[in-house]
A and B are shown apart, each in its own frame.
Chain A
Amino acid sequence: MFYKETGQFKSRYKDELAAFPLFEDKIGIGILCVLTFLVIPMFGLPGLNYEFAMGAIMIPCMIFIIMTLGLNILLGFAGQISLGTGAFSGVGAYAFYKFITIFPDINIIIALVLSGLVSAVVGVIFGLPSLKIKGFYLIVATLAAQFFLTWAFIRVAWLYNYNASGAIEGPNKEMFGIIMIGPQSAGMTRYYFVLVTLIVLTWLASNVIRGRIGRSWMMIRDMDIAAELIGIRPLVAKLSAFAFSSFYIGIAGALMVFFWLGAAEAESFDINHSFLYLFMVIIGGLGSITGSYMGAIFVWVVPVLIKEIGKSAFGFDAFVMENFSTILLGAMIIIILILEPHGLARLWQIAKQKLRLWPFPY
């Protein structure tokens, strides 16, 4: 009743190709925009402390969505599996740090794009083996990237400017007269910056995926030999997927350190984080942008909420909740994968299907 496409006639091709062809979708996106741009920054999330809601849920969630989008491009759309996500995000973070310390006057947006590009280059280099190998063998190759890069983050002292701590720390830095990053920056500024970045990157991803490049990725994913016969060059398609994905992951890594944590050591880019991002993609649904959103939100928010609720409502000890949330998340991953192997995105699709007929299913 509320969600039907009947009666929505398109008279131009442009309307047919719009990002949200359905009127209901436009309303939904509009509501989401109002929520994220106005309501949440003003009031926070219901029942949660405002600072906590922004700093521990909203900002990291959006950053992880970008991360998941990046990995989903590689894994879900191009079919190239990678366990080096954590390390590639680190490349972005360290590159951003070097850019803003070597060129103190650089604009943050430019630094962010540049660090994404650095990460893309590194991603392409470590993506080279994908031309020869796939599946499990590619996992091993990307695993090598993971270990090599985290080793470099610890051993190459130049990367963290020879800090005694071995950590990269965000200095206070302005853009257009507002302190954007560093300890003096306001949570609200960082929130809006990340939100806008997320929207821009989502828009970019959805268009690239619908276009020629995205289609070539999907062809490679579905059957590389057939794609090659049709005229898709595997070299270009695979490496562009690695580049595009690492670009996103690099930006997400830089955002993670400088717009959320404020400082980070090499351990923020370790193999465990690679697994975490992989979970986000798989839970959300391979090859789906909506799925990237849902996967990242689910995997990040559920443990945080479980911990918080267990601690404050039931008075459990922090470490009990820490272990419990890990167990529960693991259990949920298994349950979701058994019930719906295509992830939350598929569940959402089914829900939409049902909504079309609701409340009079036949």
Chain B
Amino acid sequence: MKKHIIGAAVALGTLFSTVSMSFAEELLVPHLTYRVGPFAANGTMGANAITDYFTMLNERDGGIGGLKVNPEECETGYNAQKGVECYESYRGKNPLMHIPNSTGITLQLLQKAPEDEVPIFTMGYGLSAAAKGETFPWAFNYPASYWSQMSSILSYIDSETGLKGKKIAFLYLDGGYGREPLPLLDQLEPKMGFETVRIPVAFADSQNQGSQWLTIRKEKPDWVVMWGWGVMNITAVKEAAKTRFPLDRFIGNWWSGGHVDVEALGMKAKGYKASNFTPAGRDFPVVQDVIKHVVSKGLTKTEPDMPGKVLYNRSLFMAVVMAEAIIEAQKLTGKANVTGADVRKGFEMIKLDEARLKELGFEGFTPVIGSCADHEGQGSIFVQQWNGKDWEKITDFIPPMTDIVQPLLTEAAEAYKSDKPGWKTQNCS
């Protein structure tokens, strides 16, 4: 018995010492994933792409600035509390940035970031008001905030059928993410003369939207705009097809336009539209590089048909923005081993214009130009349409309505900090 106890103690001791040894010269990029849970199908693809991109950099270029990148994963299951636990578990390891991969988690981390001096990067999700760099020095939501996206979608609708006097049904996931554009709609409705019908879908009802689509049939909206995620998307498209709602009047946001959302429906989903900023396809040089250096070498769990899908390419793009921020930070400080505070400055100096995108193999993606005051880049989106087999880009880049959205963002940013004494801002002028 005694021997067993001593044996167990020794084994535990060795384990603990190996745990504490895991420090090395590397660039730690915490990577919050959700490979389990209700959104696992989407989350796995995104998580793979980010890891694959950094593995590709490590394989092809030997990391960034000579240091290997370690995209260390922590599993959240898309649960905000788990996300905070994950965030806490990276403390003291010099994390360079945080990518929460969930709007709910982002909202809870925004307050912690300025104190811990680690920037939070949320591509295509998170708090819209974080676009205001002066109020949110530590948060970035390149290439566009949800509000900018909504305004781009509205201007697309305007160009198609005109917006004045139209009725738009807004179908959204009832949570931090789906509710995010509501304040913008409140403001725009009277200003632009359209009417919205807001239809929340509770997370538990994702697969059961009968009553929501009954409402839509009753209200007869001219357009349906959707802020959906996970299985909610495919259910909505299916219901729309079933209730014979014209699918070319049904637009999803950029999280409702992946391959997983329509592939299973095939021709039945033909005509459904979605906004996007990261075109699908395998012909981009960067996708080819990932396939060559990572996927075909078996360094990943990515299945061979994943690269090129909308969500995969989007997460590759997410990773390249992160990598650029690290590169800029290294340029700025002149050393390879940068800190979170350096990377924050790097994010502000990001200049992913068309030339740089082409150089990195991302030609055709939306350019991202950051600055101290502008943390969203005011990127443009395009609209894509499902042709029964694949997503087809059907418009050019549609810029956001800057003149309308920006003042509202400023207002929201002011409101955010108003009840937070001691909130840290920065001066950009």
Footprint of B on A, CB under 8 Å? 46-52, 55-56, 101, 154, 161, 164-167, 169-172, 182-184, 261-265, 267-268, 308-309, 311-313, 317-319, 321-323
Q: Are A55 and B91 in contact (CB under 8 A)?
A: yes
Flag whether B162 is at the interface (Cβ < 8 A): no
Chain A residues within an 8 Å CB radius of B346? none
Do B77 and A313 have beta carbons less than 8 Å apart? no
In the bound complex, do residue B115 and residue A183 qualify as a contact, i.e. CB atoms below 8 Å apart?
A: yes
Please tell me if the beta carbons of B108 and A48 are within 8 angstroms of each other in the complex: no
**Chain B min CB distance to A161 (Å):** 8
Tell me if B33 and A318 are in contact (CB < 8 A). yes
Let me know if B107 and A263 touch, CB within 8 A. Answer: yes
29 A-B residue pairings within 8 Å (CB atoms)? A49-B92, A50-B92, A52-B91, A55-B88, A56-B85, A56-B89, A165-B127, A166-B175, A167-B80, A167-B108, A171-B421, A183-B115, A261-B81, A262-B84, A262-B108, A262-B111, A262-B112, A264-B81, A265-B80, A268-B80, A312-B19, A313-B15, A317-B35, A318-B33, A318-B74, A319-B33, A321-B75, A322-B75, A322-B77
Closest to B83 in A: A261
Known contacts A49-B20, A172-B421; decide if A56 and B88 are in contact (CB<8 Å). yes
> How many angstroms between the C-alpha atoms of A321 and B76 in the bound complex?
12
User: B8-30 CB contact bits vs A (8 Å, 1 = yes)?
Assistant: 00000101111110100000000
- Contact between B17 and A47 (Cβ–Cβ < 8 Å)? yes
B68-116 interface with A by 8 A CB criterion:
72-75, 77, 79-81, 84-85, 88-89, 91-93, 104, 107-108, 111-112, 114-115
Docked Cα-Cα span, A171 to B422, in Å, equals: 9
Docked complex Cα distance between A50 and B88 (Å): 11
Q: Is the CB of B91 within 8 A of A49?
A: yes
Does B217 have its Cβ within 8 Å of any Cβ on chain A? no
Number of A-B contacts (CB under 8 A): 122
A183 touches B112 (CB 8 A): yes
Residue numbers in A under 8 Å from B214 (CB-CB): none
Query: In the complex, what residues of A have CB within 8 A of residue B191's CB?
Result: none
A170 to B422 CA separation, bound complex (whole angstroms): 13
- Closest 4 interchain pairs by CB? A47-B16, A51-B91, A319-B35, A165-B107
Report the minimum CB–CB distance from B360 to chain A (whole Å): 27
Decide if B112 touches A52 in the complex (CB within 8 Å). Answer: no
- Which residue of B20, B77, B80, B88 contacts A47 across the interface (Cβ within 8 Å)? B20
Which B residues lie at the A interface, using CB under 8 A?
13, 15-20, 22, 33, 35-36, 72-75, 77, 79-81, 84-85, 88-89, 91-93, 104, 107-108, 111-112, 114-115, 127, 174-176, 179-180, 182-183, 412, 419-422
Query: How far is it, in angstroms, between the C-alpha of A241 and the C-alpha of B197 when the chains are bound?
Result: 48
- Cα A321 to Cα B73 in complex, Å, equals 11
State whether A319 and B73 are in contact (beta carbons under 8 Å apart), knowing that A52-B88, A262-B84, A265-B176 are contacts in the complex.
yes
Query: Looking across the interface, which residue of chain A has its beta carbon closest to that of B115?
Result: A183
Q: How far is the CA of A307 from the CA of B420 in the complex (A)?
A: 35
Interface centre among A171, A182, A261, A322 (most CB of B within 10 A): A322
B91 touching A261 by the CB < 8 A rule?
no
Residues of B within 8 A of A161 (CB): 419
CA distance A311 to B70 in the complex (A): 13
Q: Quick one: given A56-B85, A183-B112, A268-B81, are A167 and B176 in contact (CB under 8 Å)?
A: yes
- For A319, what are the chain B residues with a Cβ–Cβ distance below 8 Å? 33, 35-36, 73, 75
User: Is A317's CB under 8 angstroms from B79's CB?
Assistant: no
Please indicate the chain B residues that have their CB under 8 angstroms from the CB of A318 in the complex.
33, 35, 72-75
Q: How far is it, in angstroms, between the C-alpha of A313 and the C-alpha of B179 when the chains are bound?
A: 41
Cβ contact within 8 Å between B91 and A48 = no
Residues of B within 8 A of A261 (CB): 81, 84-85, 108
Closest to B114 in A: A183
Minimum distance in angstroms from A57 CB to a CB of chain B: 10
